[in-house]
Structure 1
């Protein structure tokens, strides 16, 4: 067994009722007068504990709050057979009302969380002081002509819903994490595995509702997303890894020129690239990411 990572800053786990669902949040540090909390929201098939490494790399002890999205981590599942993007916006709005009702926050999102954060910052610009997007590229625009095929696929999957296979040991979960991201050190994978999965009679099960894997029956509407992005008023920092995941994942379906044109519409945008980092850049280079975040959030 590899050594297990030892956090520098221990988090406190809490539960909040947000829009009728019990949500799990992690808190580091205490509120400080005049300093907004830094709220972090994770990506698809991830958990809030994923931010531990970058929280440890931040200097000082500012208050940081990370959310487990509905159906991920220790937050409740919906009990339904589908998850809808607007619900993430609603949950985030309810979270900020609970943790910082009278003042804006600094908001950071990774991947799916970055997309939610960007849309939210355009819809509720007064609630965000600084905005950070870690590789929340969005998705290719989809033609309305694709709707019948997408809906048919969704209906078929409802009849044969996806499942998540269990793992025999936490070491197997850690191995899966490192398979997904070979840059993740073994000690960090061993620590994160305990937050990524829970023990059940069938083995260690990922803390994720399999319904997240269903085809989304709603098409991605680029024009609607960009209408939100253009309304962002907070200074915004875009951070990506040098290992180009946009091209690797989408290829010609989502050309880099399209994404660059989208980013050009965001007011007050700063950009940076972390070298030798991939999509999970907060795992790959937490110290380098912290060094970029601190002056931006100061």
Structure 2
């Protein structure tokens, strides 16, 4: 039976981040970064198949999972998640680690590896080749969208049961197994007076004021120096323009991706296969 995780708090310049750790004396440190509106428990099923000797650190990004929310007048921006990574490394005393990121977590991991190359030993990206980006002309609509979103009051929908919350998750992700959706909902909701709500801050649904265009993201990706592995779901996210995807893979000097049956949350659909891929890659990436 795998050893259990223990929760701890990482201080991100005054903001309390929730994280969990298994085997703090382990010989191989791996930090896991979850996707947008998810939480650290999205990696539980993969962790069950990883070596007991590894030190596993699972982070809840700010405003998601059990981490603190920003004050009501504040706004989330992408770069703040790099601060979250620094905070968890500081809290664990890790000078460097292997990093696994899903979706948003992979984007954060890539940016962090570019900015702090000495602290990232390898990158394992699950369904993550960078932000949507696009041409520079997207900058102005993005700013306008950010301001427009501020006029919409945050909405925290109520659900009568965990099963109802899990069903909502499967509406957005039909390939997600029912058992995995229940796991996400069980750990990603909290009780309120009239039912259950998801724990993420609804302000996360607002658009970022600033984002990377394609040229900027290629420049960031090209600065990554560690080995990188890409894991995709056969029915997962794809860029409409294959040329854009190939340019991003080239910037990261990626080998051909590992494609597994499944969708955008392939690590929840194929946890054993994803774990096996990590075991095969991470020791050789030292």
Q: TM over 0.5: same fold?
A: yes
Stretches of structure 2 lacking an aligned partner (at least 5 in a row): none
Is 1:95 the counterpart of 2:88? The answer is: yes
Query: Structure 2 vs 1, CA of residues 151 and 65 (structure 1 numbering), >3 Å: closer, same or farther?
Result: same
Query: Structure 2 vs 1, CA of residues 53 and 197 (structure 1 numbering), >3 Å: closer, same or farther?
Result: same
Write out aligned runs for 1:78-89 (5 A): 78-79=70-71, 80-89=73-82
Per-residue deviation, residues 176-222 of structure 1 (Å, max 9, x unmatched): 23333333333333233221111111311101111111122214322
Is 1:20 the counterpart of 2:5? The answer is: no
C-alpha distance in 1 between matches for 2:143 and 2:268: 36
C-alpha distance in 1 between matches for 2:97 and 2:138: 38
Is 1:216 the counterpart of 2:208? The answer is: yes
Q: Is the 8 A contact 1:184 1:283 kept in 2?
A: yes
1:68 is matched with which residue: 57, 60, 64?
A: 60
1:274 is matched with which residue: 224, 237, 259?
A: 259
Stretches of structure 1 lacking an aligned partner (at least 5 in a row): 1-6
Give, in angstroms, the shift of residue 244 of structure 1: 4.2
Write out aligned runs for 1:1-298 (5 A): 8-32=2-26, 35-79=27-71, 80-101=73-94, 103-247=95-239, 251=240, 255-267=241-253, 269-298=254-283
Give, in angstroms, the shift of residue 8 of structure 1: 4.7
C-alpha distance in 2 between matches for 1:290 and 1:100: 25
Q: Is the 8 A contact 2:133 2:217 kept in 1?
A: no
Q: Is the 8 A contact 2:129 2:248 kept in 1?
A: no
Give, in angstroms, the shift of residue 245 of structure 1: 1.8
Q: Is the 8 A contact 1:40 1:108 kept in 2?
A: yes
Q: How does the TM-score come out when normalised to structure 1?
A: 0.88
Q: How does the TM-score come out when normalised to structure 2?
A: 0.91
C-alpha distance in 1 between matches for 2:22 and 2:127: 24
Query: Structure 2 vs 1, CA of residues 258 and 21 (structure 1 numbering), >3 Å: closer, same or farther?
Result: same
Query: Structure 2 vs 1, CA of residues 215 and 187 (structure 1 numbering), >3 Å: closer, same or farther?
Result: closer
Query: Structure 2 vs 1, CA of residues 271 and 290 (structure 1 numbering), >3 Å: closer, same or farther?
Result: farther
C-alpha distance in 2 between matches for 1:76 and 1:43: 17
C-alpha distance in 1 between matches for 2:140 and 2:257: 39
RMSD: 1.9
